[in-house]
């Protein structure tokens, strides 16, 4: 496998990132748009996710359903994701069938139909998806915590959007969002796999390069002021299980503190994978909170994590409380472990183990061709590809002094929202 990445910016503003990998006759093609829930305004929350759905409704050249059959017939797979800062579409196919992928993506960048009947049909689908999620305890709790954690920044709302907005948004709103953000000067094409560099570069340049640039994209996100003290909330809903979720304001991915926070996460709850597409799993049984809560039968499980984002987001710790125990007991033990991290230097050996685990999980999430193509584009959404290349090296720089400073800076009780999910015992009905 070569580690050489070719980057080219075409005259219309689109960026091409290519990486040859000749381990298997497979190519993975991704296109990333710099638009997500971060780019939404009140009254139109969820519009980025809805636009992603509409992109599968077809163009005159590629009607709905045709591509799905064609990709499956050729032994490939495809999907799409909408997140806080971006929307991405990908196809992984045998190398001799990959032309299908970039022809489709270049076409639907410009020619997606947005038929009014399809808009109405998809409204029903997305509202149903939203209502189904509302029966899930962690969705209810997570949404409430996120709303409490942000007041100004668009990160405060869930990616799927508010139900009232999903009823309100119309076809022209969706189409305007599509034409505003699905433009070459707001896109990154990332391709990894079994191809010859110059040939692929010429193909993509010819196909994507002829699309005219769109308007300069607007990103309305405003800086979020610091929390003015700890916030606590309770959410009641269906089920039998009590959950405790703590959300601390965390550094953005481009902040050097992100790497120190990654090590702190590994120490407290076990390593977190950054590749949302998948890749591996590492036990968290050596983490401090697992030993303090799960092994002592105060909690059924504990996990944590943060995401790589453009602006500061959240570091979450979620505890599934043992039904025989109290939320307050779990919270007191957690706070004691955090104080220990803040007050007592961590041994170099424990830090080395935490870094090793985080490094292993990172490797698992980077190993196959689809994951390699993922990282080519994903890292560009919040930093650049060098961030991915240097990730392990940055982790290995973290020392006991860094860990203590990071814990003191970000894990203060004044910098968090504490949410408790209280089950009602019933099996769930939308309220």
- Rounded to 5°, the CA angle 76-277-361 comes to 125
Rounded to the nearest 10 degrees, what angle do helices 171-181 and 116-133 cross at?
Answer: 90
What does R_g of the chain's alpha carbons equal in angstroms? 23
Q: Are residues 11 and 60 in the same domain?
A: yes
Work out the end-to-end distance of the chain between its first and last CA atoms, rounded to an integer number of angstroms: 54
In terms of Cα–Cα distance, which of 195, 316, 189 is closest to 247?
A: 316
Q: Are residues 204 and 265 in the same domain?
A: no
Looking at the DSSP bridge assignments, the partners of residue 58 are: 63
Q: What are phi and psi of 362, to 5 degrees?
A: -60, -40
Domain membership flag for residue 290: yes
Query: For the chain, what's the residue count?
Result: 431
Q: Are residues 36 and 180 in the same domain?
A: yes
Domain membership flag for residue 218: no
**Each residue's pLDDT tens digit in the chain (431 positions)?**
456 899 999 999 999 999 999 999 999 999 999 999 999 999 999 999 999 999 999 999 999 888 899 999 999 999 999 999 999 999 999 999 999 999 999 999 999 999 999 999 999 999 999 999 999 999 999 999 999 999 999 999 999 999 999 999 999 999 999 999 999 999 999 999 999 999 999 999 999 999 999 999 888 888 999 999 999 999 999 999 999 999 999 999 999 999 999 999 999 999 887 776 555 567 788 899 999 999 999 999 999 999 999 999 999 999 999 999 999 999 999 999 999 999 999 999 999 999 998 888 888 778 889 999 999 999 999 999 999 999 999 999 999 999 999 999 999 999 999 999 999 987 654 43
Q: Are residues 185 and 302 in the same domain?
A: no
Q: Are residues 360 and 392 in the same domain?
A: yes
Domain membership flag for residue 225: no
CB 342 within 8 A of CB 404: yes
Q: Look at residue 261 in the predicted model and tell me its pLDDT.
A: 96
Distances (CA, A) of 5 to 41, 58, 224, 246: 36, 32, 35, 39
Quote the CA–CA distance of 139 and 153 in Å, as a whole number: 20
Task: Supply 254's token pair.
Answer: 């481009």
Domain finish residue from 175, 209, 243: 209
**Residue 337, domain extent:** 231-423
Distances (CA, A) of 67 to 63, 91, 111: 8, 11, 15
Quote the CA–CA distance of 1 and 220 in Å, as a whole number: 41
Q: Look at residue 103 in the predicted model and tell me its pLDDT.
A: 96
Looking at the DSSP bridge assignments, the partners of residue 89 are: 31, 80
Domain finish residue from 152, 177, 209: 209
Domain membership flag for residue 272: yes
Rounded to the nearest 10 degrees, what angle do helices 348-364 and 257-269 cross at?
Answer: 100
Q: Are residues 21 and 54 in the same domain?
A: yes
Domain membership flag for residue 137: yes
CATH number of the domain at 237, please. 3.30.830.10
CB 400 within 8 A of CB 351: yes
Q: Look at residue 277 in the predicted model and tell me its pLDDT.
A: 59
| Separation of CA 369 from chain center | 19
Domain membership flag for residue 317: yes
Task: Supply 161's token pair.
Answer: 């959007």
In terms of Cα–Cα distance, which of 410, 233, 172, 413 is closest to 313?
A: 410
Domain membership flag for residue 13: yes
Q: Are residues 260 and 384 in the same domain?
A: yes
Sole residue written with tokens 């994978």 = 273
Domain finish residue from 152, 178, 209: 209
Q: Look at residue 218 in the predicted model and tell me its pLDDT.
A: 84
Domain membership flag for residue 215: no
> CB-based burial of residue 12 (10 Å sphere; 0-12 exposed, 13-18 middle, 19+ buried)?
middle
Q: Are residues 262 and 365 in the same domain?
A: yes
Q: Are residues 95 and 236 in the same domain?
A: no
Q: Are residues 167 and 262 in the same domain?
A: no
Quote the CA–CA distance of 173 and 182 in Å, as a whole number: 14
| Strands ordered across the beta sheet of 26-33 | 5-9, 15-20, 187-193, 26-33, 87-94, 77-82
Q: Are residues 361 and 318 in the same domain?
A: yes
Q: Are residues 245 and 107 in the same domain?
A: no
Number of domains in the chain: 2
């Amino acid at each position: 496998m070569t580690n050489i990445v070719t980057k080219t910016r075409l005259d219309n503003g689109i960026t091409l990132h290519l990486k040859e990998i000749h381990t298997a006759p497979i190519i993975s093609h991704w296109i990333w748009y710099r638009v997500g829930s971060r780019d939404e305004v009140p009254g139109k929350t969820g519009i980025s996710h809805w636009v992603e759905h509409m992109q599968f409704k077809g163009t005159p050249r590629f009607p709905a359903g045709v591509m799905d059959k064609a990709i499956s017939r050729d032994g490939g797979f495809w999907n799409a994701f909408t997140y806080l800062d971006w929307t991405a579409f990908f196809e992984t196919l045998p190398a001799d069938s990959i032309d299908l992928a970039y022809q489709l993506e270049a076409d639907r960048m410009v020619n997606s139909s947005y038929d009014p009947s399809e808009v109405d049909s998809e409204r029903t689908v997305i509202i149903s998806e939203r209502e189904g999620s509302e029966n899930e305890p962690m969705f209810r709790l997570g949404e409430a915590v996120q709303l409490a954690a942000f007041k100004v920044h668009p990160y405060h709302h869930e990616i799927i959007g508010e139900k009232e907005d999903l009823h309100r948004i119309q076809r022209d709103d969706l189409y305007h969002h599509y034409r505003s953000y699905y433009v070459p000067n707001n896109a990154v094409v990332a391709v990894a796999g079994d191809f010859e560099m110059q040939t692929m570069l010429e193909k993509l340049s010819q196909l994507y390069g002829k699309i005219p640039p769109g308007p300069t994209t607007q990103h309305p996100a405003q800086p979020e002021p610091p929390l003015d003290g700890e916030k606590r909330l309770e959410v009641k809903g269906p089920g039998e299980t009590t959950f405790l979720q703590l959300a601390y304001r965390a550094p953005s991915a481009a902040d050097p503190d992100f790497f120190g926070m990654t090590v702190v996460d590994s120490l407290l709850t076990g390593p977190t994978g950054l590749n949302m597409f998948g890749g591996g799993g590492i036990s968290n049984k050596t983490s401090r909170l697992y030993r303090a809560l799960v092994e002592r039968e105060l909690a059924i499980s504990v996990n944590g994590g943060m995401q790589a984002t453009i602006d500061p987001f959240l570091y979450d710790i979620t505890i599934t409380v043992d039904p025989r125990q109290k939320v307050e007991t779990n919270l007191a033990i957690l706070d004691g472990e955090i104080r220990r991290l803040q007050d007592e230097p961590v041994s170099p050996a424990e830090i080395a183990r935490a870094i090793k685990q985080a490094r292993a999980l990172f490797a698992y999430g980077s190993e196959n061709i689809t994951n390699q193509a993922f990282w080519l584009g994903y890292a560009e959404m919040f930093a650049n590809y060098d961030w991915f290349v240097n990730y392990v090296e940055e982790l290995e720089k973290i020392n006991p002094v860094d860990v203590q400073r990071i814990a003191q800076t970000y894990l203060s009780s004044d910098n968090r929202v504490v949410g408790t999910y209280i089950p009602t015992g019933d099996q769930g009905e939308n309220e």
